[in-house]
Amino acid sequence: MSIKKQTLGEFIIENQASFKYTSGELSRLINSIRLAAKVVNHEVNKAGLVDIIGAAGETNVQGEDQQKLDVYANEKFIHTLTNRNIVCGIASEEEDDFVAINSQDENNQNKYVVLIDPLDGSSNIDVNVSVGTIFSIYRRVTPLGTPVTIDDFLQKGNQQVAAGYVVYGTSTMLVYTTGHGVNGFTLNPAIGTFYLSHPDMQFPEDGKIYSVNEGNYIHFPQGVKDYIKYCQMEEGDRPYTSRYIGSLVSDFHRNMIKGGIYMYPKHSKNSNGKLRLLYECNPMAFLAEQANGKASNGHTRIMDIEPTELHQRVPFFCGSKNMVEKVEEFIKKYE
């Protein structure tokens, strides 16, 4: 006899008392993200059947070509979060600036801002490879009933109240934390409900997978090159296996389950790396630390970095604790 699994809605209600703030808005906010994720998932699964794959013909503020599904996912998440009157501001990787939501209304008591990468790895859509959504949630720092400002978004990662991702893969999963461990929920597409399938997710302390774009190897700092050679060396439990999907959500998700490290270092072409601190690194760092992992820029804890701009980029090393500490050792040799 199969045991009835807990739904995401039931889980949120049951665990609401463990949230730092228990007024109910955070629960409603996560429910809104769940709803938008289901809508985007439905569209992702139609790729190839309708005209939603390929480039949209525009570039975003990052200077990257927008895919049609980038634009679609961005619109859906902003529309859903705005219509449900839960947040006072949204910042998206696809928008030049943050979006203020009725925050000039003195009766508006919404406390939360959301930072989001609506469709991570969207260039993989055309070839049917897993993509995802990453989200990060903070309490605003400016007074209620006043317009949100950049200060509400430029908060250190250690101030996050919740973070998570949705992976649109062979099955669709929503994985999130509110600072009390990491739990994963799998979508049953027949009835449109997420069920708790991966309770208390944890990174193994060690792993055998390293995930990095080795096409950039020649441009990496020497410490990172040495670590990659260390991973490839036949000694003890090595060589490790190289696995790189090119979608942060997918690489992170696999490494959390199997044990491994994800790396996007700075290199000679991009001195700050490629990944965005606020939309990608901070939420993934929060999840990693809640799942017994570690996230670093090679020197410093990711969540202790002071943000200075909305689309700030940082080098990123994240995954099994011992593996991240080992790459930090190699990098430190050349400081």
Number of Cβ within a 10 Å radius of residue 217 = 13
Is residue 255 a contact partner of residue 319, using CB atoms and an 8 Å limit?
Answer: yes
Which residue ranges are tagged as binding site for Mg(2+)?
A: 93, 117, 119-120, 280
Residue 54: predicted pLDDT:
47
CA distance 273 to 280: 12
Give per-10-residue mean pLDDT for the chain (335 aa). 77 78 75 90 67 50 65 89 87 92 67 93 75 94 91 97 92 94 94 94 97 95 97 94 94 97 91 93 98 97 97 97 98 91
For 24, the token pair is 């109910």
Residue 239: is the preceding peptide bond cis (ω within 30°)?
yes
Measure the CA dihedral 210/322/163/196, to 10°.
Answer: 80
pTM listed for this prediction: 0.92
Residue 50: predicted pLDDT:
46
Which residue ranges are tagged as binding site for substrate?
A: 120-123, 213, 244, 274
For 224, the token pair is 């990172």
Q: 237 φ, ψ to 5°?
A: -90, 10
Q: What's the distance, CA 16 to chain centroid? A: 22
Which residue ranges are tagged as binding site?
A: 93, 117, 119-123, 213, 244, 274, 280
Residue 170: predicted pLDDT:
83
Number of Cβ within a 10 Å radius of residue 114 = 26
CA distance 66 to 205: 37
Is residue 232 a contact partner of residue 181, using CB atoms and an 8 Å limit?
Answer: no
Helix, strand counts (H, E) of the chain: 7, 15
Which residues are within 8 A (CB) of 97 and not within 5 positions of it... i.e. 6 or more apart? 91, 310
By DSSP bridging, strand 99-100 and strand 112-120 are: unpaired
Task: Please give the domain boundaries of the chain with CATH numbers for all domains.
Answer: 8-198 (3.30.540.10), 209-332 (3.40.190.80)
Number of Cβ within a 10 Å radius of residue 255 = 25
